[in-house]
Homo-oligomer: A and B are copies of this chain.
Amino acid sequence: MVVVGGGFGGLTVVRGLRRADCDVTLVDRENYHLFQPLAYQVATGGLSAPEIATPLRRILRRQKNARVVMAEATGFDLERRQVRLDRMANGADGVLFDYDDLVVAGGSAYSYFGHDAWAPNAPELKSLAGALDLRSRILSAFEAAEVEPDETARRAWLTFVVVGAGPTGVEMAGQIAELARDVLHRELREVDTRGAQVLLVEAGPRVLSSFPESLSHRAERALRKLGVTVVLETMVVGVDAGHVSLRHTDGTSEQVAARTAVWAAGVTASPLAATLAAAAGLEVDRVGRLPVEPDLTLAGHPEVHALGDMVVVRGNGGAVVELPGVAPVAMQQGRYVARALRGAAGGPFRYRDKGNLATIGRSRAVADIKGFRLSGFAAWAIWLAVHITYLIGFENRLIVLVRWAFSYVTRNRGARLIGRSEL
């Protein structure tokens, strides 16, 4: 059995098969499982990369029926039941790998709405590489402001535009604001970082649109208190090295002089969705997602499952079930697929929404748990407990707790390295 993708979905499938009578090969481009919900903390120097990224081999070391292959899956031959692997660790490309059952969980990436030229000036936050790139850029911008003699240029260094007000965008905006206000303010000498501008730009009418409206408003208030400028009903229509161009819903335009932009908007499925769709004669939807049957199999191929952010599940009538692109969906689907592969399936996949959490900053969060709405410190405590619980490995849990405790008391961010030499 081959599982492609070591994210929340794929890894859950592999672990769910630990007592099954089969061999499982997990294929991933990276050698680690990334705890993506905390990537924004790496991007703002709160955590170091290894604290949220655990080697897949380490996680699976005791699962003797599992092995890991670090490679990029790039093609599927559904007739011959083979997956093509490129960029193997030994330099090999085009290696064909046989499978009897196949699970594909390639995840998603942020989409630049077809403007890939914006990417170099507005890194995304789905990958660890993106988070580390952002960490260097954000910290460098403050360093640049410190030595920039020109007032206008300095303002541009101290202006940060976060695109997209989903949980990640909200978290990033809050963290950058806290970094400027609480941390760097005491460390820089020439510049008052409390004057830094953080713009959170959102196309829709409110932040955190997946939450109830009352919590959106509370989150927005919390953001404003932190000094974040929330710009709603506004599209980004251009990004270059020094500017972000905005168009408001009312038709007016605006150009913001900002040296740093963060991309956390628009989601597009992994290219594996289209590859698999093509192999099966299917079509992906508008955001590149692969349609799968109610039991998460590929139509006509009961031996192929696909799950997570890269799929859209057909309801029993043929209509589509919209599920949020969050870790709990992928994990529940992973457990469902593992059960099916163990021969213990029953009925179509059904998502159980256990709640929705987002944090804004120190002691500030919103939680929507089965209609039970919380904000402030209580929501923040729940957010913290959930994230520590789901983080993999006792060592990392303890270290992240230590970092957060120090950060709470000292308001420092303990992992603030600038990678001048491709760190």
Contacts and interface: CB of A to CB of B under 8 A. Distances in A.
Nearest to A30: B420
B129 A417 contact: no
Interface string A391-423: 001111011001100100010101111111111
Contacts of A139: 31
B89 A414 contact: no
A395 B423 contact: no
Contacts of A148: 90
A140 interface: yes
A417 B53 CA distance: 7
A153 interface: yes
A153 to B, nearest CB: 7
B157 A90 contact: yes
A421 B127 contact: yes
Q: How many copies does the complex hold?
A: 2
Interface residues of A, number: 66
A157 to B, nearest CB: 7
A88 B147 contact: yes
A386 B218 CA distance: 49
Given A61-B187, A67-B189, A140 B89 contact: yes
Interface string A37-75: 000000001001111010101101100000101110000
A132 interface: yes
Interface in A137-162: 139-140, 143-148, 153, 157
A399 B395 contact: no
A119 to B, nearest CB: 13
B132 A57 contact: no
Contacts of A421: 127, 129
A91 interface: yes
A29 interface: yes
A420 B86 CA distance: 13
Given A31-B417, A129-B423, 12 more contacts: A31-B139, A48-B51, A50-B415, A61-B187, A88-B144, A89-B140, A90-B143, A90-B145, A90-B148, A395-B414, A398-B402, A399-B402
A100 interface: no
Q: Which of A29, A139, A147, A402 has the most CB of B within 10 A?
A: A147
A344 interface: no
22 contacts: A30-B420, A32-B418, A50-B415, A50-B416, A50-B417, A55-B187, A58-B416, A61-B187, A67-B189, A89-B143, A89-B144, A89-B147, A90-B143, A90-B145, A95-B147, A128-B417, A128-B423, A129-B421, A393-B414, A394-B406, A395-B403, A396-B414
Contacts of A319: none
A88 B141 CA distance: 11
B420 A29 contact: yes
A144 B91 contact: yes
B31 A143 contact: yes
A190 interface: yes
Interface in A346-362: none
B70 A418 contact: yes
Contact of A144 (B90, B393, B403, B418): B90
Interface in A143-192: 143-148, 153, 157, 184, 186-190
A132 B415 CA distance: 15
B395 A412 contact: yes
A292 B128 CA distance: 46
A21 to B, nearest CB: 17
Contacts of A184: 57
Nearest to A56: B187
Contacts of A128: 417, 423
B92 A147 contact: yes
